[in-house]
A = this chain, B = another copy of it.
Amino acid sequence: MIHAEGYAATGIQGIVESVDVPKGSFYNHFASKEAFGAEVIDAYFDRGQEKLRAFLCNADMAPLQRLEAYFDDRIKALRAAGFVRGCLLGNFSAEVADHSALMREHLVVHFAAWGNFFADCIAEFPADLLARFVLNSWEGALLRMRAERSAAPLIEFKEIVFGKLLA
């Protein structure tokens, strides 16, 4: 619900109704909506991490090919979804980072871990710097994808990153 509608637009009432539990149960598990948001951020990254690991730690492929295969897989999935929603970490960055130190801290940790996965595939010095740039550029391409509702920003991201920047 948060990925589709946004954090502010998703009420606790709607969340508890969707899983058919009383509203009081929510507060048995989460101190606040903000604490829940931080756990949503963690859960989202944990799930994405399996995919990151499957693609980017695949010793059967050359490092740069792994990274390219990862983006190809993401573009395929985003196309299947109709170019909506984008990345939940990017969305939280846009919507709540200015207003919640707690959620912002969780975003910082996961973006750093995500960037490290990329850095391991970018041999060129300085790999960590390039890796963070590639990750941020991907987040920007996802924003633009949602504005255009088209794969063009994603395809062009790949053209520049693999055809020029990392070539």
Contacts and interface: CB of A to CB of B under 8 A. Distances in A.
Contact of A140 (B108, B130, B137, B164): B137
A139 interface: yes
Nearest to A8: B8
Nearest to A128: B156
A97 B165 contact: no
Contacts of A111: 144, 147-148
Contacts of A9: 8
B160 A130 contact: yes
A71 interface: no
Contacts of A94: 86, 90-91, 94-95, 143, 146
Contacts of A139: 139-140, 143-144
Interface in A110-167: 111, 129-130, 132-133, 135-144, 146-149, 153, 156-157, 159-160, 164-165
A132 B156 contact: yes
29 contacts: A6-B8, A8-B8, A8-B9, A85-B98, A86-B94, A89-B147, A94-B95, A94-B146, A97-B147, A104-B147, A108-B147, A111-B144, A111-B147, A111-B148, A129-B160, A132-B153, A133-B137, A133-B160, A135-B140, A136-B140, A136-B141, A136-B153, A137-B140, A139-B139, A139-B140, A139-B143, A139-B144, A140-B141, A140-B143
Interface of A: 4-6, 8-9, 84-86, 89-95, 97-99, 104, 107-108, 111, 129-130, 132-133, 135-144, 146-149, 153, 156-157, 159-160, 164-165
